[in-house]
Amino acid sequence: LDTTDWGKDNTKGVSKFWKEIKLNEAALELWRAADGNLLPVRTTHVLRAKVTSPDRYERGIFLFNTWQQYGDGRTRTRNGLLSEKLTTDEMPLEENLLEVCRRAVTEEEMQRVVESTMKISLGRAAPEYDPSYTCPLEVVNAHFVDHIIELEKSKSYPGLLTMYHLYTVDIICTGLPLTDLNTLEFEHPDKDGKRKLKYIHAWVWLEWPQIQRYLFEGSELKETKRKGSFANAAALTTWLSQFDLKMEKWGKGTLKSVEALFKEIENEDSQLELWGRHDGVPMLMRVTHVLQLRVTSPEPSLKGKFLFSTWAELLNGKRRVTHTLPAMKLTLKDMPYDEEKFRASASALVTEQLGHVVDIHYR
């Protein structure tokens, strides 16, 4: 491993890495590759927390960090969850979960709660540390959600592989305001005992699906599972079990089973994609491709008008509201799609769904 360029430009030096290890912020592991070569691997542990109150936890509403302001007044967009580096002596996390969550909330990013209007500006200096202040937040419960491992070359230490252990946890706190809020995070005491402002964090209450959309914007595709990725449905079940999916409900009532998903993947009707980023929750997505048609008529009187499906009746006589354009799923076998394939699919769709025209009273 060549460390000659460490510490140059935006990289960190060997001394910085040594300090990380000494402070238990990272560890250095030696792995043997399949070819027999030894690989040094830097390992770090990061907590991503979905912070909420007891009542809002039941409704799937959590705090989302939209922006941060440095102590010198600079501001940056954050769009992430509470994120905190863990120390190696806090592992295994499951055995220290409540203690770690209390530190992350009350001693780090959310140690001081202020109004959402708090911001450094012209004529408004950075707030100072108040040693008499007591954090009103109390972590009353924490639920482990998932643990994802990502391995990539470090940007801070060129050439050194880094293994990121990313833990997602639901943290339930009392003392949180009902409205949006800001929090103050101060540096640890310097040699003179002074604590400078590190960040002002801005937090808003959002439903979890909204948060996921924000997280997706800064995410990267990490892994794709397609035909042949799983030997059978049991192997798919094992892989899915690492995510917070509530799979015990699958296959019950109108919900489809893991076996149905496995068949979809093997038939190339869908695929699974795992997206993630260092400060965001991993997002597992089922990906399908759907063709929608805007079907119209050449008649001048129908110019600008299109066919729209309002309801559909099943064979058992039950009717369901649709409110969609004519649509059909596309197979992944035809990728990449082009105009010729779209034309063929459109023709098949029209034949299948509009091939038999009857009057509006037919049921």
Mean pLDDT score of the chain, rounded to an integer?
91
CA distance 12 to 30: 20
Check residue 283 and give its pLDDT: 80
Query: Is 224 inside any structural domain?
Result: yes
pLDDT tens per residue across span 3-28: 888 998 889 999 999 999 999 999 99
pLDDT tens per residue across span 100-117: 999 999 999 999 999 999
Last residue of a domain, one of 255, 288, 321: 288
Beta strand pairing call for 319-324 and 38-52 = unpaired
- Which residues touch 75 (CB under 8 Å, ≥6 apart)? 67, 68, 69
Domain housing 256: 220-288
Global pTM reads 0.72
pLDDT band for 316, please (50, 70, 90 cuts): confident
pLDDT band for 281, please (50, 70, 90 cuts): low
Query: Is 207 inside any structural domain?
Result: yes
Last residue of a domain, one of 217, 239, 267: 217
Q: Are residues 195 and 57 in the same domain?
A: yes
pLDDT of 137 over the 90 cut: yes
| Under 8 Å between Cβ of 89 and 22 | no
> Could you give the number of structural domains in the chain?
3
pLDDT of 153 over the 90 cut: no
Task: Give whole-number Cα distances, 103 to 21, 218, 258, in Å.
Answer: 20, 27, 39
Query: Is 3 inside any structural domain?
Result: no
Query: Is 122 inside any structural domain?
Result: yes
Q: What is the mean pLDDT of residues 285-289?
A: 94
| Identity of the amino acid at 340 | E
Q: What percent of the chain has pLDDT over 90?
A: 67
Q: Are residues 55 and 138 in the same domain?
A: yes
Looking at residue 157, the DSSP 8-state letter turns out to be: S
Last residue of a domain, one of 268, 288, 308: 288
Rg (CA), the chain: 27
CA distance 281 to 48: 7
- Which residues touch 16 (CB under 8 Å, ≥6 apart)? 7, 156
Query: Is 6 inside any structural domain?
Result: no
pLDDT of 247 over the 60 cut: yes
Check residue 277 and give its pLDDT: 65
pLDDT of 363 over the 80 cut: no
Count other C-beta atoms under 10 Å from residue 26's C-beta. 20
Q: Are residues 261 and 330 in the same domain?
A: no
Q: What is the mean pLDDT of residues 153-174?
A: 92
The separation between the first and the last C-alpha atoms of the chain, rounded to the nearest angstrom, is 74
pLDDT tens per residue across span 216-234: 877 888 889 999 999 999 9
Check residue 279 and give its pLDDT: 58
* Residue 48 burial (C-beta neighbours within 10 Å; 0-12, 13-18, 19+): buried
Check residue 347 and give its pLDDT: 94
Query: Is 271 inside any structural domain?
Result: yes
Q: Are residues 49 and 95 in the same domain?
A: yes
